[in-house]
Amino acid sequence: MTTQDIIQVILFFSLLIGLTPVLGNYMYKVFTGNKHVMLPVFGWLEKLTYRFTGVNPDGETNWKSYTFGLLIFNLTGFVFVFLIQLLQVFLPLNPAHLPNVSWHSAFNTAVSFTTNTNWQGYSGETTLGYFVQMIGLTVQNFVSAATGIAVLLALIRGISRKTTEKLGNFWTDLTRSILYVLLPLSILLSVILVSQGVIQNFKPYETIKTLQGATQVIPMGPAASQIAIKQLGTNGGGFFNTNSAHPFENPTPFSNLIEMLAILLIPSSLTYTYGKMVGSTRQGWAVFSAMFILLIAGLVISLYAEYSANPIFRHLPRMEGKETRFGITNSILWSTSTTAASNGSVNAMHDSLSPLAGMVAMLNIMLGEVIFGGVGAGLYGMVIFIILTVFIAGLMVGRTPEYLGKKIEAFEVQMAIIAVLVPNFVILLFSAWASVINPGLSGLNNSGPHGFSEILYAYSSAAGNNGSAFAGLNANTLFYNVTLGIGMLLGRFGVIIPVMAIAGNMAGKKITPLSAGTFRTDNGLFISLLVGVILIVGGLTHFPALSLGPIVEHLLMNGGITF
């Protein structure tokens, strides 16, 4: 690594830490109904939304109605995206005359975009016309991210309110997230991206004769508007097959920095919003610190792996699956950030990363997507781990566990365990199944332990709603489309429903005032405990599987063995 590499890393994190309280404070104002800067700009749109839909913005509901609204809304989106893919040839804005999508690919893609996963079994430029990309996928990019924020808001209200069953209004939370947070930031980011060379047009694909006289068809389309929200909403679904490695999606090192920042910006800022909403910014920073420690640890391991020579390739740097303009450091900074946040966009091919860097990417997802994680989703996932941590700490000292004045009892712990187990269950069982049957094995691009890693990564990505891939795996088959689709659904709603149940149950409780005996959750001791619990749960669950994939591959590679 050179000094310039280190400067880039420091610059990136300084921007992230600097912007966290700024955006966090703004979102606090938005979500608590205070006055804020976007109100004069988009306030009329919010009123129009309620008038058009007949929603009463002040009508708050209990957790069951809140969850029911959320599920129905997501179902509506799923059905719509599913159908327009099946009927693509009859729809406008398809200048490349792309055919209808197969039912299982359409199912997979519809689930993928409604669950904020944005796993892509298809290649954008050869599968989907502009109509489906915009009206289907861009919309889901917004609403799935807003869904994540809404769940988080309900959970925060459950924690901070007392003896009530009201958790807020799903439609209002959804509307405000989109109008005041996601849309303004996306507009800003889109324009910055176009200034760097990201395309934004409705032209047909351009056919040109190259310098050598060959024919090259250059794809076109409204890319910038979708890329902005795919980064900000931790969606990650690229306009093109190679996502943000494609020069039209990410043309310059500056666009790369801004896109990378957009991955972590909202999840990181939400920790500050969280602190403000529960009445202590220290609590927010404690959560931020736990996430940050895990992120940096992963980054250091990945950089070390990528900058180490091995007997097969003594030559450094290893540029397989990486772009010249980004180099190694920016590729690794991205691979760590995109898997820590459940974004899943890539600027380098994860399949060609060093085994240990690939393992960190996988582990970031396996730990439950709580290292910043998805928009909203990362933080509500982290609260699940906080509940487990205070429970374990309570057992150690023999006191009733409490978090922010709320007693943590059997129900909360049961729900937390469900939320932790469901995604892990998906990862391990589906991976094991795919590893022993022909439809699973026939999609592999690499053999030996790396082949197993491709399968393990795919199901981790689905269950964690990440969406990145060891993309050599050909997953656009009936088997993978269906099993990964089911995995994404379980990974999303198998967590959201228990989280909402916890929110509902906690809202009904009294708040015990702080006393000398209260176990503090905003100091270094708690942060280390929390990090420990996350690593122990993730490590115990996934160490055996990781040993069969990236760990053994790393050891064999250092012995000079190839497959």
Task: Select 72 or 396, whichever has its Cβ closest to other proteins.
Answer: 72
Task: Determine the Cα–Cα distance for residues 156 and 151; give it in Å rounded to an integer.
Answer: 9
Number of H helices, E strands in the chain: 21, 4
User: Which residues pair with residue 407 across a beta bridge?
Assistant: 402
Q: Closest Cα to residue 368, out of 352, 379, 353, 355?
A: 379
Three-state SS annotation for 342-378: CCCCCCCCHHHCCHHHHHHHHHHHHCCCCCCCCCCHH
User: Which residues pair with residue 216 across a beta bridge?
Assistant: 208
Rounded alpha-carbon distances, angstroms, from residue 313 to 185, 309, 320, 358, 558: 42, 7, 11, 17, 10
User: Which residues pair with residue 215 across a beta bridge?
Assistant: 209
DSSP-H helix ranges across 120-252: 124-127, 130-131, 139-160, 170-176, 183-196, 223-232
Task: Select 183 or 393, whichever has its Cβ closest to other proteins.
Answer: 183
* Least spacing, CB of residue 330 vs other proteins, in Å: 7
In this structure, which long-range contacts are made by residues 29-32, counting pairs with CB atoms below 8 Å and at least 24 apart in sequence?
30/176, 30/180, 30/181, 31/153, 31/173, 31/176, 31/273, 31/277, 32/277
Residue position matching structure tokens 């990440």: 466
Task: Determine the Cα–Cα distance for residues 74 and 146; give it in Å rounded to an integer.
Answer: 11
Task: Select 24 or 236, whichever has its Cβ closest to other proteins.
Answer: 236
Tokens linked to 198: 């990201």
Task: Select 184 or 405, whichever has its Cβ closest to other proteins.
Answer: 184
Task: Select 531 or 557, whichever has its Cβ closest to other proteins.
Answer: 557
* Least spacing, CB of residue 57 vs other proteins, in Å: 12
* Least spacing, CB of residue 285 vs other proteins, in Å: 28
* Least spacing, CB of residue 52 vs other proteins, in Å: 6
Task: Select 46 or 402, whichever has its Cβ closest to other proteins.
Answer: 46
Task: Determine the Cα–Cα distance for residues 387 and 158; give it in Å rounded to an integer.
Answer: 13
Task: Select 185 or 382, whichever has its Cβ closest to other proteins.
Answer: 185
Buried/exposed code over 500-538 (b: 16+ C-beta within 10 A; e: otherwise): bbbbbbbbebeeeeeeeeebebbeeebbebbbebbeebb
Residue 539 corresponds to which amino acid? G
Task: Determine the Cα–Cα distance for residues 15 and 37; give it in Å rounded to an integer.
Answer: 21
Rounded alpha-carbon distances, angstroms, from residue 162 to 504, 506, 509, 511: 11, 8, 6, 6
Task: Select 182 or 490, whichever has its Cβ closest to other proteins.
Answer: 182
Task: Select 115 or 242, whichever has its Cβ closest to other proteins.
Answer: 242
Task: Determine the Cα–Cα distance for residues 144 and 109; give it in Å rounded to an integer.
Answer: 13
DSSP string, 179-216: IIIIHHHHHHHHHHHHHHT--B--PPPEEEE-TTS-EE
* Least spacing, CB of residue 461 vs other proteins, in Å: 14
* Least spacing, CB of residue 27 vs other proteins, in Å: 19
* Least spacing, CB of residue 112 vs other proteins, in Å: 17
Rounded alpha-carbon distances, angstroms, from residue 5 to 233, 244, 346, 352: 27, 20, 19, 21
Task: Select 213 or 398, whichever has its Cβ closest to other proteins.
Answer: 213
Task: Select 325 or 407, whichever has its Cβ closest to other proteins.
Answer: 325
* Least spacing, CB of residue 400 vs other proteins, in Å: 37
Tokens linked to 77: 């989106």
Do residues 166 and 61 make contact, with C-beta atoms less than 8 angstroms apart?
Answer: yes
Task: Select 246 or 542, whichever has its Cβ closest to other proteins.
Answer: 246
* Least spacing, CB of residue 243 vs other proteins, in Å: 9
Task: Select 50 or 103, whichever has its Cβ closest to other proteins.
Answer: 50
Task: Select 43 or 247, whichever has its Cβ closest to other proteins.
Answer: 247
| HSE of 36, CA atoms in CB hemisphere, 13 A | 21
Residues 6+ apart with CB under 8 A from 315: 309
* Least spacing, CB of residue 8 vs other proteins, in Å: 6
Task: Determine the Cα–Cα distance for residues 86 and 102; give it in Å rounded to an integer.
Answer: 7
* Least spacing, CB of residue 554 vs other proteins, in Å: 9
* Least spacing, CB of residue 450 vs other proteins, in Å: 4
DSSP string, 441-481: HTT-SS-THHHHHHHHHHHHHHHTT-----TTS---SHHHH
* Least spacing, CB of residue 536 vs other proteins, in Å: 29
* Least spacing, CB of residue 475 vs other proteins, in Å: 12
